[in-house]
Structure 1
């Protein structure tokens, strides 16, 4: 199925949606309140989580939400692509080396041109300043001679002209307004990273054709949501999005998600959530555990009760009821 116009491509790798373009990641973060998790790193340089880069991986709830809202579509990629041939590697390496050499050559030419223009401007300004100083020295010598200083005037004239010439030859004492030129980067190593995977080299179909876009979920390549709990996760996530909350991963804090009042780069999480499906019972010990867990992490517990109008045995209720989500905050004693 073809994707709608202006839809964001999410590349599906082993059931995980990924984003490879920095501008797309920024759009998801700033416009759609989807932050994801960065997973890119260098194989030989271990980095911390705060310094990871592209690709951006999305939670199942984030992926399903974007697809159901028509914001994005899924592009499946072959999880086991065939390795490139030796000829392809040599051609790619030669093209990369040629591109780097051409870039460094352009950089050197730009730097040489900038230095030449700066030198010309300096010489031009220095010559004008020297002529002005010599003219002032001659005028002063002629005035002194006219006042009757005699031989001393001639000596002073020669000394003044000599001093002016020496000052003109010293660049440190000459104020020259050079022409402003754009700074060129120093020669170095540059490497261009493609924004998207090369789909022609990673066909998903056996015939080698371009993979078809996925515009609805669940799908055999992305089986979410299928179970009642997965539907509850998606329903609660969509409701929190409609309330302008931002949702992040929360297993390390003992909950489904961490819930932020805005951009997680600006705010701390206010809640750690627990999702309750339909009429699922809650044990008193669980309430105590969730309350103490939230308090221990300087957060409030948020119980998200999702009801799709169906009973636990799968039968529909007598009354027609739409899907609904109710939220209950839970705080323990001595909070904060």
Structure 2
């Protein structure tokens, strides 16, 4: 069993066009276990871009999650575009050559492995077909040979064409690392990029997070956050939440709609806020609709 890698804090959060991403699987596991943050996996395979069930790295963090990690000094924001450009510019020619050579060897190794698997499947298929042909009567075999002549629309491609296609396909299989090569770059914190969460919702997020709740985006339930009493893989959410400004008025229609919505999905609708610039505790209220 592999030993889990130790994550060094603060770790980088990569900002790309206003999105906060994590590319290291060890960091993803660390923040889930230590800081009760799950994020949303958003990565897909290049050849299967329309996956919608089993997504992978990178993990996208909510703005509130990124801001809280920075506030706790567990992470720092990196301008990924600038870091990428700077890393390539500072990489020596020798390092580039070594890296490209290592990648070439990995690709060749994976391509050879894939080609062997394809050849083995072809041998098994030919052996099975040969056994079936030997079991057929001679007359039926002659009729099939006539039907499957050279002019047939469904004639099999030539061996040369198959070989070329297999070689081309085999080059598409190569390993992708979950972390950057150590020689690539050491990202420095960005002085211009700062995670700026919504001032109305962030106090409620921090309040629930400090109470031990796991929070995730609540768009599909018509709210800002879903609040889980434990890991979402083990628990259903208890609250659908909405953060409000301290002096913001609440329309009675919103209270009725939120209460009915929460009760309809077997949860409670929670809203709350905190005076701006005040150290008092965030106040929250729950609404449950009776008579359902």
Q: Same fold (TM over 0.5)?
A: yes
Is 1:98 paired with 2:140? no
Is 1:242 paired with 2:210? yes
Per-residue deviation, 1:56: 0.3
Question: Of 252, 258, 278, which residue of structure 1 is paired with 2:220?
Answer: 252
Question: Of 42, 47, 57, which residue of structure 2 is paired with 1:44?
Answer: 47
Per-residue deviation, 1:15: 2.1
TM-score, scaled relative to structure 1: 0.57
SS at match of 2:13: strand
Query: Which ranges in structure 2 are unaligned for 5 or more consecutive residues?
Result: 1-7, 89-94, 114-171
Counterpart position of 2:237: 269
Query: Which ranges in structure 1 are unaligned for 5 or more consecutive residues?
Result: 107-188, 204-209, 310-320
What CA deviation, in whole Å up to 9, does each residue of 1:1-20 have, x standing for no partner? xxxx6212111111221111
Per-residue deviation, 1:81: 6.7
Counterpart position of 1:213: 189
Per-residue deviation, 1:60: 0.3
SS at match of 2:274: strand
What CA deviation, in whole Å up to 9, does each residue of 1:178-211 have, x standing for no partner? xxxxxxxxxxx9743233356987x9xxxxxx75
Q: What is the aligned-residue RMSD (CA, Å)?
A: 3.4
Q: Tell me the distance in 2 between the aligned counterparts of 1:104 and 1:80.
A: 32
Distance 1:96 1:199, change over 3 A: closer
Per-residue deviation, 1:249: 0.4
Counterpart position of 1:11: 14
Distance 1:42 1:192, change over 3 A: closer
Is 1:74 paired with 2:57? no
Counterpart position of 1:299: 267
Distance 1:275 1:13, change over 3 A: same
SS at match of 1:9: strand
SS at match of 1:44: coil
Q: Tell me the distance in 1 between the aligned counterparts of 2:173 and 2:61.
A: 29
Q: Tell me the distance in 1 between the aligned counterparts of 2:67 and 2:213.
A: 17
SS at match of 1:6: coil
Q: Report runs of 4+ in structure 1 exceeding 6 Å deviation.
A: 79-82, 88-93, 103-106, 198-201
What CA deviation, in whole Å up to 9, does each residue of 1:89-114 have, x standing for no partner? 999776434235557999xxxxxxxx
TM-score, scaled relative to structure 2: 0.65
Question: Any conservation in 1 of the 2:201–2:244 contact (CA below 8 Å)?
Answer: no
Question: Any conservation in 1 of the 2:243–2:273 contact (CA below 8 Å)?
Answer: yes
Is 1:33 paired with 2:57? no
Counterpart position of 2:285: 328
Distance 1:50 1:79, change over 3 A: farther
